[in-house]
Amino acid sequence: MSGILNSSIGRKFAMALSALFLMVFILQHFAINILSVLSPDTFNKASHFMGTFWAVQYILQAVLILGVIFHFVMGFVLEIKNKSARNVSYAKNNGNANSSWMSRNMIWSGGFILVFLVIHFIDFWIPEINTKFVAGDMSGLIDPTNLESGFRYHEELVHKFEPIWRVALYCVGFTFLALHLLHGFGSAFQSVGANNKYTIALKGVSKVYSIGIPAGFIFIALFHHFTGTH
Amino acid sequence: MNLTLKIWRQKGANDKGKMVDYQITDVSPDMSFLEMLDVLNSELITKGDEPVAFDHDCREGICGMCSLYINGEAHGPDRGVTTCQLHMRKFKDGDTIYIEPFRAKAFPVIKDLVVDRSAFDRVQHAGGFVSVNTSGNTIDANAIPINKHDADTAFDAATCIGCGACVASCKNSSAMLFVSAKVSQFALLPQGQVEATDRVLNMVKQMDEEGFGNCTNTGACEVECPKGISLENIARMNREYLKASFKG
Amino acid sequence: MALDSKIPQGPLADKWTKHKNTINLVNPANKRLIDVIVVGTGLAGGSAAATLAELGYNVKAFCFQDSPRRAHSIAAQGGINAAKNYQGDGDSTYRLFYDTVKGGDYRSREANVYRLAEVSANIIDQCVAQGVPFARDYGGLLDNRSFGGVLVSRTFYAKGQTGQQLLLGAYSSMNRQIGRGKIKMYNRHEMLDVVVVDGKARGIIARNLVTGEIERHSAHAVVLGTGGYGNVFFLSTNAMGSNVTAAWKAHKRGAYFANPCYTQIHPTCIPVSGDHQSKLTLMSESLRNDGRIWVPKHKKDVEAIRNKTLKPTDLKEEERDYYLERRYPAFGNLVPRDVASRAAKERCDAGFGVNATGEAVYLDFASAIQRYGKEQAHVKGLNEDDAALVKKLGQEVVKNKYGNLFQMYEKIVDENPYETPMMIYPAVHYTMGGIWVDYNLQTTVPGLYAIGEANFSDHGANRLGASALMQGLADGYFVLPYTIGDYLANDIRTGPISTETKEFDEAENKVKDAINQLVNNNGTKPVDYFHKKLGKIMWNKCGMARNEKDLKSAIKEISELRAEFYKDVRVPGEANEFNEELAKAGRVADFLELGELFAKDALQREESAGGHFRDEYQTEEGEAMRRKEFQYVSAWEYKGEPKNAVLHKEDLIYENIEVKERSYK
């Protein structure tokens, strides 16, 4: 068991596990974010809980960060290994004949997602951490001195999506996520050994998830951009 | 019909190779692809040139000796066939056809279009067998009934001809389809159960040592496999491997 | 030298057991001191190499392909016979023995055939234990089908890829021994001579086909499992690389060559499409279980079909001539191969061939599709009178049974055999002749053994379907590994055989000279030119029907072609590199000698038997006429040129079987 990460199948398995974890995370992230459209109040409560509950902040957040880092590092390691398994490339290669563009370009979709994530971190996560742990404001209020001012989360979100450049960036980012998921979702199941009579059904679920979730995120961004101007 | 061929020529394993253009005329649509190359070689020899070296033997799609990456696909554009069963009716007059060797670090070129696939043999040496003596003193063949579905699925996996199209087609030069076909065949049969743990661990270890890439589930291998070996075998091998890893 | 077949004394059924009990054995510690070379890694060579290694001998195995798994046994489709009697239809060892001797037209050795039938059941047990996925029924037990020339179902199969599955089984056993270091495998190596020291085979000279290097390999015994020589016809169902070179070199070193003229022409192959053709593709004999063979009754319909103004499916039943069912009502479409082939030739020669070249007959599945479709409709409780449904269901059944063959046919011919009958024509498929061996499978050179198709022993003048796989595996798994011990028991104190001797020098120099001659010949014509020409002579004059005049002219023409070959062949490239043309040239050079001996053998055999049909010797109904005075094996001794070969006769004695008119009517 110890050397499992030294084997090709072991690495794929680990890659798939981190992917499955990240997909659950994205689903959770989406579920909370869509509340910002459906019910700003609930959104605020959920955000406050996630942002202040110790188990989320100190355990789940750490696991998530490690998961993200692992997924990316392993992705690049595998790409380098796989590239080196063919030292002379074909003069003519007709990849479209036998596989999807998405499946052959996970490194590119993944790479763009990484760029997007970095921006997303700078944009949302760092200010958040700054507020909570550097400035020490754990209240979650618009004005921490005024208990009546209400939660800041929804307002901040709407505010963020005012500039069109940011909305465009999110649209592009989530498009790459969709492309990544279109192959990655099913691939993760195949890697953990699940290929059976449910695979056809799984393919349907994969499409719904891979297109639905990123489209939903894009919808949220657009919604706030067009409805949120004060 | 008349065709332009762009063929990889490489004198020996340590020489540099390049693509060379050839013209060929009066190709009959009923010819097989290799018969077309026979005609080309015959012309080259008569002219005093070196013929193009390529692997082939049974010419009926079962020995797995023929290879060739034709117009960007292993065994060419037709499905469910090896190069020897590909017929020229799949091409049009005036076409340009790229002919390259199967490419992978684990399959070094020997000459022109001939590659060394002995890595596949070494993977089999590592565990592609049931350790039963060939003395004939085994139990009666009908002593263990085997569910027809399992027997048929094992057969489907066992039809792999070891040609290497899966490796050639895979963007990562992964040999997972080939290895999983053998692992699956035995995993599905009671005779293969006894050594299942060691078999999958040893075969995968050898596969990795040979320098094949990792599987990223693009599915290209399944599409290009002349025998239609299913991706389910790879999933089965993943399961077998994980089971074995956690056990051992 | 008088031929001693070394058949053990005693009753037929006890010979093998008694023999095994009395021959010398080599103890396990001593086996480690003994090296055995096995050339060829098909069913016979592969299984022998694995078993010898398992017993403890040090095995060196050679194949010219890039892996042992490529040997042409892999292409065998239909199945493997075994007297298991799982179907309870009255099969037995004796019946398999009887069918095989009768099928071989009473030209095989009783004791060998009985042994073959006896060990046949073991093969199935062995292969199942190895994980060979044979076809099974819904109860999980092994399924059987029936094959030509027999009245029971004793053929085990794995769809249309039985040879592949059995070979991969043998290959897996080899792999286990290679992994243990007991077999040293030499891929892409071609044997070019046997080295005989003090009258015993002590090694081989081989060429590394990648580097061109000539190598010496020594051993205490040499086993040839190098297959048949059907490629002497250029067009055959053999692989492109299948050759007679190893067997022929052995012949030149003193091994007698037996019955070279016994060639099996398989009735169901895809017809030749043009001059570019490089090989012929077999459609398994199992298709004759369900397919019906016919040509039109009337010439006008033949013309119309050739002009494509009439579709075969539009021709009414009464306008068709199901000639096998007409001539052989008892066996119908399942007559043995030689009979079916000749009957096809007879119809085509009479002008009833259905393709442009006039050399094709139909193999029709329409009635099988109907029959199966009705059965399925009945089973599923659907309407048996719904023609479209019945056809669909029937096609599914046929697809299940023969799907891969139908697909192969469609790829090659570009016609859908589910909708229109297949076109088939006989093609060279298997050679019953081969190196003469005694009961121990030893050739006339001590220490040199021949197994599988490479020897002559078990099939007489005609082989029954699904018996080649049986013989290859029987020889390799269950016969040779024991009989060779009898010889090797005398070698336990010999120690390693040196390759630095004058015999190895002489053999290596001879091989090098022959190669240099070919490479430096500077002729004008490629090797294939001569091979194709040889093939035409063989097919036209030594093919399905032979006569004195043609055979005599064949001998002359082949000898002239051989002279022309050495004068005008062009072999490009160098000796010391990967050089496919050079390898081919060496093989064709040997075919050019064998072809002549073949014709000479056919000429001396003034009778018709099995695959050997002489126009002069036929009954009034056109059936083969066997002659009592030819009830012998012709074993040829090499004396310089094929024409000088000396004939030795081994009389065939039948004590347990009555030699009868072979009738399938």
pLDDT in tens, A60-108: 999 999 999 999 999 999 999 999 999 999 999 999 999 999 999 999 9
Greatest pairwise CA separation for chain C in angstroms:
81
Q: pLDDT at residue C596 above 90?
A: yes
pLDDT recorded at residue C290: 92
Same domain, C286 and C394: yes
User: If residue B241 lies in a helix (H) or strand (E), which one and from where to where?
Assistant: helix B232-247
**Which amino acid belongs to residue C526?**
P
Mean pLDDT of the C98-115 span:
96
Domain edge (last residue) among C426, C443, C461 = C426
CB contact under 8 A, B171 and A104: yes
Give the pLDDT confidence of C604-622 residue by residue, as tens digits. Answer: 999 999 999 999 999 988 8
Same domain, C292 and C422: yes
Mean pLDDT of the A18-23 span:
96
Given a contact as 3+ CB pairs under 8 Å, which chains touch C? Answer: B
Mean pLDDT of the C280-303 span:
93
**Which of A1, A2, A6, A8 to mutate to test binding with chain B, by most B CBs within 10 Å of its CB?**
A8
Same domain, B102 and B21: yes
Residue C537 domain-assigned? yes
C521 exposure class (CB count in 10 Å sphere: 0-12, 13-18, 19+)? middle
Domain of residue C303 covers 267-426
Mean pLDDT of the C194-208 span:
98
CB contact under 8 A, C528 and B130: no
- What contacts C446, CB < 8 A, 6 or more positions away? C199, C200, C201, C487
Mean pLDDT of the C15-25 span:
96
Same domain, B77 and B39: yes
pLDDT recorded at residue C303: 95
Q: pLDDT at residue C148 above 90?
A: no
Buried b (16+ CB within 10 A) or exposed e, C530-560: bbbbbbebbbebbbbbbeeebbeebbebbbe
CB contact under 8 A, B41 and C128: no
Residue A157 domain-assigned? yes
CB contact under 8 A, B38 and C276: yes
Give the pLDDT confidence of C322-331 residue by residue, as tens digits. Answer: 999 999 999 9
Give the pLDDT confidence of C326-351 residue by residue, as tens digits. Answer: 999 999 999 988 899 999 999 999 99
Same domain, B60 and B175: no
User: If residue C60 lies in a helix (H) or strand (E), which one and from where to where?
Assistant: strand C58-62
Percent of chain B with pLDDT strictly greater than 70: 100
**pLDDT higher at A229 or C526:** C526
Same domain, B124 and B237: yes
Domain edge (last residue) among B63, B86, B110 = B110
Domain edge (last residue) among C411, C426, C441 = C426
CB contact under 8 A, B30 and C273: yes
Residue C386 domain-assigned? yes
Domain edge (last residue) among B54, B76, B110 = B110
Same domain, B83 and B168: no
CB contact under 8 A, A85 and B245: no
Give the pLDDT confidence of C253-283 residue by residue, as tens digits. Answer: 999 999 999 999 999 999 998 889 999 999 9
Same domain, C420 and C512: no
Domain of B237, CATH number, reads: 1.10.1060.10
Give the pLDDT confidence of B86-114 residue by residue, as tens digits. Answer: 999 999 999 999 999 999 999 999 999 99
Residue A101 domain-assigned? no
Would you name the residues of C annotated as active-site residues?
337
**Which of C84, C276, C406 to mutate to test binding with chain B, by most B CBs within 10 Å of its CB?**
C276
Domain of B35, CATH number, reads: 3.10.20.30
pLDDT recorded at residue C64: 98
Measure Cα distances from A15 to A78, A185, C354 in Å: 10, 12, 61
Cβ of residue A145 closer than 8 Å to a chain B Cβ: no
Residue C442 domain-assigned? no
Same domain, C292 and C415: yes
Task: Find the helix packing angle between A8-38 and A40-52, rounded to 10°.
Answer: 140
Asked whether the beta carbons of C333 and C291 are under 8 A apart, the reply is yes
CA distance B40 to B20: 13
How far does Cα C128 stand from its chain's mean position? 24
Same domain, C289 and C407: yes
CA distance B69 to B67: 7
Q: pLDDT at residue C645 above 70?
A: yes
Residues of C in contact with B110 (CB under 8 A): 210, 578
Give the pLDDT confidence of B232-246 residue by residue, as tens digits. Answer: 999 999 999 999 998
Cβ of residue A100 closer than 8 Å to a chain B Cβ: yes
Nearest to C147 by CA among C90, C84, C98, C82: C82
Which residues sit opposite C183 in a β-bridge?
C59
Indicate the pLDDT class of residue A199, thresholds 50, 70 and 90.
Answer: confident
Same domain, B23 and B127: no
Asked whether the beta carbons of C151 and C502 are under 8 A apart, the reply is no
Gap from A8 CA to chain B (nearest CA, Å): 6
pLDDT recorded at residue C437: 98
Same domain, C283 and C407: yes
Which residues sit opposite C201 in a β-bridge?
C196
Q: Do chains A and C touch (3 or more CB pairs under 8 A)?
A: no
Residue A174 domain-assigned? yes
Percent of chain C with pLDDT strictly greater than 70: 100
Nearest residue of chain A to residue B217 (CA atoms): A187
Domain of C334, CATH number, reads: 3.90.700.10
Same domain, B131 and B217: yes
Mean pLDDT of the C233-237 span:
96
Residue C337 domain-assigned? yes
Residue A147 domain-assigned? yes
Which residues sit opposite C632 in a β-bridge?
C651
Q: Domains in chain C: how many in total? A: 2
Cβ of residue B196 closer than 8 Å to a chain C Cβ: no
Residues of C in contact with B158 (CB under 8 A): 132-133, 158, 165, 168
Residues of A in contact with B217 (CB under 8 A): 103, 183, 186-187, 190-191
Structure tokens at B16: 């540099």
User: If residue C425 lies in a helix (H) or strand (E), which one and from where to where?
Assistant: strand C422-431
CB contact under 8 A, B213 and A11: no
Give the pLDDT confidence of B156-189 residue by residue, as tens digits. Answer: 999 999 999 999 999 999 999 999 999 999 999 9
Same domain, C317 and C407: yes
pLDDT recorded at residue A1: 44
Give the pLDDT confidence of C419-468 residue by residue, as tens digits. Answer: 999 999 999 999 999 999 999 999 999 999 999 999 998 999 999 999 99
Asked whether the beta carbons of C63 and C70 are under 8 A apart, the reply is yes
Residue C80 domain-assigned? no
Domain of C625, CATH number, reads: 1.20.58.100
Question: What is the bridge-based pairing of β-strands C200-208 and C189-197?
Answer: antiparallel
Same domain, B82 and B13: yes
Same domain, B99 and B149: no
Average pLDDT, chain C: 95
Domain edge (last residue) among C397, C426, C455 = C426
CA distance A113 to A135: 30
Buried b (16+ CB within 10 A) or exposed e, B93-117: eeeebbbbbbbbbbbbbbbbbbbbb
Q: pLDDT at residue A206 above 90?
A: yes
CA distance A157 to C416: 64
Asked whether the beta carbons of C147 and C286 are under 8 A apart, the reply is yes
Question: What is the bridge-based pairing of β-strands C183-186 and C35-39?
Answer: unpaired
Nearest residue of chain B to residue C74 (CA atoms): B63
Mean pLDDT of the C122-139 span:
96
Q: pLDDT at residue B136 above 90?
A: no
Cβ of residue A85 closer than 8 Å to a chain B Cβ: yes
Q: What string of DSSP letters covers C157-210? A: -STT-HHHHHHHHHHHHHHHHHHHTSEEEE-SEEEEEEEEETTEEEEEEEEETT
Domain of residue A177 covers 7-82+106-227
CB contact under 8 A, B238 and A193: yes
Asked whether the beta carbons of B27 and B52 are under 8 A apart, the reply is no
Question: What is the bridge-based pairing of β-strands B3-9 and B96-100?
Answer: parallel
Facing residue for A10 by CB, picked from B72, B231, B245: B245
Helix residue ranges, H only, C276-386: 299-306, 323-327, 337-349, 366-379
Q: Domains in chain B: how many in total? A: 2
CA distance A112 to C318: 73
Indicate the pLDDT class of residue C1, thresholds 50, 70 and 90.
Answer: low
Q: pLDDT at residue A230 above 50?
A: no
Same domain, B104 and B123: no
Cβ of residue B151 closer than 8 Å to a chain C Cβ: yes
Indicate the pLDDT class of residue A229, thresholds 50, 70 and 90.
Answer: low
Measure Cα distances from A181 to A32, A106, A206, C49, C340 in Å: 20, 9, 8, 51, 60
Domain of residue B135 covers 117-247
Same domain, B78 and B144: no
Residues of B in contact with C279 (CB under 8 A): 59-60
Q: Domains in chain A: how many in total? A: 1
Same domain, C278 and C378: yes
Domain edge (last residue) among B93, B110, B127 = B110
Q: What string of DSSP letters covers C532-558? A: HHHHHHHHHHSSSSB-HHHHHHHHHHH
User: If residue C448 lies in a helix (H) or strand (E), which one and from where to where?
Assistant: strand C448-450
**Which amino acid belongs to residue C123?**
I
Same domain, C296 and C392: yes
Same domain, B67 and B130: no
